[in-house]
Amino acid sequence: MNPKKFKTLLVILTCLLVVSSISWAQNFDAMKNQVKEHTLKNGMKFIVLERHDAPVVSFHVYADVGSANENYGITGISHLLEHMAFKGSKVVGTNDYEAEAVIFDQIDKLYANIKNEKGKAEPDTAKLSELEAKFEELRKQAKEKVINNEYFDMMMQQGDAGVNAYTSNDATQYINSLPSNKLEFWMSMTSDRFMNPVIREFYKEKDVVMEERRLRSETQPIGKLFEDFMATSFKAHPYHHSVVGHMSDLERITRQDVRDYFKKYYQPSNLTAAIVGDVKAKKVFKMAELYFGRIPSGAKPEPVRTIEPEQWGERHVAVVAKSQPILLLGYHRPAETHEDDAALEALANIIGQGRSSRLWELLVKNEKVAIQAGSMNGWPGSKFPNLIAFYGVSAKDHTSAECLELIDTQIEKIKSGDISEEELTKFKRSQKKGIINGMKSNSRMAGILTHYDVIHGDWRKTFDQLKGIEGITAEDIKRVANKYLKKKNRTVGEIIPEEEAD
């Protein structure tokens, strides 16, 4: 091809690219204009995006509370509360709430007595077994009043195709998807759920959560590393502890603790709902007034007070476990709302995401010192200052020290500004595709809208994501790399195989 022709082609291609970006931006704007919001007097906010392609609708209720809101003694309570939210209300999940309530009080007193007796220097075993027998008897009585799984059954019978919930360090989210004519049913079920929650099957569910902790954190080498890594990286901020919480706290959390926590953090002013699908915003707001407007308003909980102080030097943490060596490097970075966020995302992407990323190519494909290598960003949460992290899982007969050395060379390269145009394009395209795919499904879109509204203070920012990414340059990446990827600012964690530890 002669140079002139090539140039023409290039111009055409560039034009095409610009054209497609513009038309897409218009679609974004169009979608943005369709979003409506309404805040009830009690402070609960409803965001609605009408989409009439199919007669279905998805719901996200975002409670602005996660494990970062927990204090010592009640770690894990946000997650436990999410489990309890499926146990029903005064109406759902029970055949006799009044009778149940009496038993709860008795059973809690008994439990306190058992704890008390067990805590004594010389527990009275006869008394203890008597108390335990009574406890079991009461549990049996309580069980008779329970209608097992009724929340799920009722939701599924009405066609819920996506009933679920998540708890993270930052938030607790409740999700449903229903045929769109079931709007009022959802309003009734969900307002009831957050107005009259009943903490039933409490001790059984605590066992389930403790089992979950054993499974996720205690029997998995990587779970152990993550837990100790966070405890080292965050000496003050509550990202310090994991979502699932400490075992001793889980054992000791009481029903009253959960009720108090609910009262504090599930105030309507702390809840945001997004509804995406075949509904009319006006009708949604009217029903929301009727159903959720009943919930009395309360004080908005105080935000997390503690701020992680500046780090004074590189920190180290090691976990001995039955595993191959694993290396983890985490650098402090600001919250998701910070202006450096998009450049940090690019940094994490170029260094460690995908099979043609730098770490994968160098550590796994070329040097073969690792079987896996990559990066994580916005970890463990992103509402507060958090971490950008890199990892390497050593291949047989290789060590974490080798991984560390190679990862460091890549970090230094980026700091010197060695970033190719191809890498930038790859980053931008993959982000763009990710953002677009996220918006396709009603349920994911509802999740994104609540996230932006709560974390960024405005759901409209949902539609600004692309702008932030399109503008990123190699210079931005170099700058944030030099600003954050400093040894003084990092924690080095590793798993040491049991055989190598003394």
Partner 1 sequence: MKQNRFFQIVGLMLILAFFMSGLTFAQKSPKDKFDFPKLNDIKMPKIEEKTLKNGMKLFLVEDQNYPTINMRAMVRTGSVYEPAEKIGLAAITGSVLRTGGSKSMTGDEIDKKLETMAASIEGGIGSGSGFLSVSMLNENLDEVLSIFADIVMNPVFDKEKIELEKVQHRSGISRRNDEIGQITRREFFKLIYGANSPYARHAEYATIDAITRDDIIAYYKKFLHPNNIMMTVWGDFKTKNIVNKLEQAFADWKTKKLDIPPMPEVNYKFEYTVNFIDKPDVDQSNIMLGHIGGLKSNPDYAALSVMNRILSFDRMFKTIRTDEGLAYSVWGSYGTGYKVPGVFSAGAQTKSQSTVYAIELMIKEMERMMAEEVTDEELNRAKDKYLNTFVFQFDSKAKIVNRMMTLSYYGYPLDFNDKFIKQIENVTKTDILQVAKKYLQPDKVQILVVGKKEDFDKPLSSLGKVNVIDITIPEPKVEVPEATAETLEKGKKVFEKTIATLGGTDKISKIKNFSTTMSLTQVTPMGEMAMDGNMTIQHPDKMYMKLNTPGGEILMVINGDKGTMQHPGGKMPLPAQQRKDMMDNSKRDPIYIAQHLNDYKIQFIGKTKFGEADAIDILLIETDLTFHMYLNTETMLPLGTSHQGTTQQGPATIEQFDSDYKVVDGIKVPHKSIGFADGKKQSEVVIKEMKFNVELEEGLFKVE
- 470 binds partner 1 per the rule CB under 8 A: no
Phi (first) and psi of residue 420, to 5 degrees: -90, 160
CB atoms within 10 A of CB 138: 18
- 27 binds partner 1 per the rule CB under 8 A: yes
- 432 binds partner 1 per the rule CB under 8 A: yes
- Cβ–Cβ < 8 Å for 202, 255: yes
- 32 binds partner 1 per the rule CB under 8 A: no
- 9 binds partner 1 per the rule CB under 8 A: no
Of 46-75, binders to partner 1 (CB under 8 A) are 52-56
Instruction: Choose, by CB under 8 A, the member of 139, 426, 460, 483 that binds partner 1.
Output: 426
Binding mask 100-129 for partner 1 (x = CB under 8 A): ------------------------------
Instruction: Choose, by CB under 8 A, the member of 8, 11, 15, 24 that binds partner 1.
Output: 24
Of 349-388, binders to partner 1 (CB under 8 A) are 354-356
Which lies closer to partner 1 via its Cβ, residue 52 or residue 127? 52
- 500 binds partner 1 per the rule CB under 8 A: yes
Binding mask 388-417 for partner 1 (x = CB under 8 A): --------x---------------------
Binding mask 267-286 for partner 1 (x = CB under 8 A): -----------x--------
Among 187, 181, 166, residue whose Cα is nearest residue 443: 166
- Cβ–Cβ < 8 Å for 366, 395: no
- 324 binds partner 1 per the rule CB under 8 A: yes
- Cβ–Cβ < 8 Å for 57, 177: yes
Q: Is the dihedral of CA 162, 384, 379, 448 positive or negative?
A: positive
DSSP H helical ranges for 353-484: 358-359, 400-415, 421-440, 442-455, 465-470, 474-484
CB atoms within 10 A of CB 334: 17
Instruction: Choose, by CB under 8 A, the member of 258, 327, 351, 439 that binds partner 1.
Output: 439
- 318 binds partner 1 per the rule CB under 8 A: no
Which lies closer to partner 1 via its Cβ, residue 122 or residue 422? 422
CB atoms within 10 A of CB 440: 8
The CA-atom distances, in angstroms, between 222 and each of 228, 408, 436 are 10, 22, 32
The Cβ-side half-sphere exposure at 327, using a 13 Å CA radius, reads 27
- 157 binds partner 1 per the rule CB under 8 A: yes
Residues 6+ apart with CB under 8 A from 274: 46, 47, 48, 49, 59, 60, 62, 445, 446, 447, 449, 450, 453, 459
Of 227-256, binders to partner 1 (CB under 8 A) are none
Which lies closer to partner 1 via its Cβ, residue 27 or residue 337? 27
- 23 binds partner 1 per the rule CB under 8 A: yes
What burial class does residue 271 get, using C-beta atoms within 10 Å of its C-beta: 0-12 exposed, 13-18 middle, 19+ buried?
Answer: buried
Size of the chain in residues = 502
Residues that bind partner 1 (CB under 8 A): 16-17, 20, 23-24, 27, 52-56, 89, 91-92, 148, 153-154, 156-161, 177-182, 184-185, 188-189, 191-192, 278, 290-291, 294, 324, 354-356, 396, 422, 425-426, 429-430, 432-433, 436-437, 439-442, 497-500
